[in-house]
Amino acid sequence: MAGFKAATVNPYTRKQMSTILAIHGSPRGERSHSRRLTDDFLQAWQQANPGASLTRREVGRGSLPHVSEAFIAAAFYPQPEARPLSMQADLALSDELVGELLGHQRLVISAPMHNFSVPSGIKAWVDHIVRLGLTFNTLLDNGVAQYQPLVQGKKVLIVTSRGGGGFGPGGEHEALNHADRWLRTALGFIGIEEVTVVAAEGEESLPERFQQSCAEAQQRLLALARTF
């Protein structure tokens, strides 16, 4: 293959115990349905896996910065091993987030649908962890770029809540869902293909129907916690 660049050994790869990383993406606290459902799942998962490790990363109510011009320049610096100290500093948070991702076997993403997509904190998190040389590589085949995912052996659960209905597979509004469907695309790009989505749908103005959807999602999550 012309122009082939071998994948570098990932510095974050290490022997792993039973671990789970929870990414909380809602800007709401106790009023967040996706956050509450995720917490129910995590509590049940910990009960089913005593002694396992849980790490939480808050990106919805925290101040995770979006990528900047300095970040882009550092991330695509032609000689990563020779980055100036200033560029290393620009990537420090991203390096930390990539390390969290690669250091856990399982990932739970709490991501409500906002205006047909994910909250901005989730988008910022994805931009930080999709990193050339760490989570994907670029190979040249006769001058054409081919992408090589570098993340292996991960399982992901996406817990989402959606105002309205019909945004799931086969639903009348499925084409408008750029939230968990987009997350599947981004995760698949870096090599994470084993993704499960659990959703609660409905309008809060129609409490009975929405509460029923939340209860169904909760039961599915509690059952999933025993095998995830």
Find the CATH number of the domain harbouring 112.
3.40.50.360
The helix (run of H) or strand (run of E) holding residue 108 is strand 106-110
Q: Do 36 and 28 meet the contact criterion of CB atoms below 8 Å apart?
A: no
Work out how many domains the chain is built from and give that number.
1
Average pLDDT rounded to a whole number, residues 10-15: 46
Residue 14 lies in a domain: no
Residue 103 lies in a domain: yes
Return d(Cα 74, Cα 86) in angstroms, integer.
Answer: 9
Q: Tell me the residue range of the domain where 136 lies.
A: 19-224
Confidence category of residue 17, pLDDT binned at 50, 70, 90: low
Vertex 32 angle, CA 27 and 37, to 5°: 125
pLDDT by residue (tens digit) across 139-155? 888 888 899 999 999 99
Residue 196 lies in a domain: yes
- pTM for the structure as a whole: 0.88
Do you know the residue count of the chain? 228
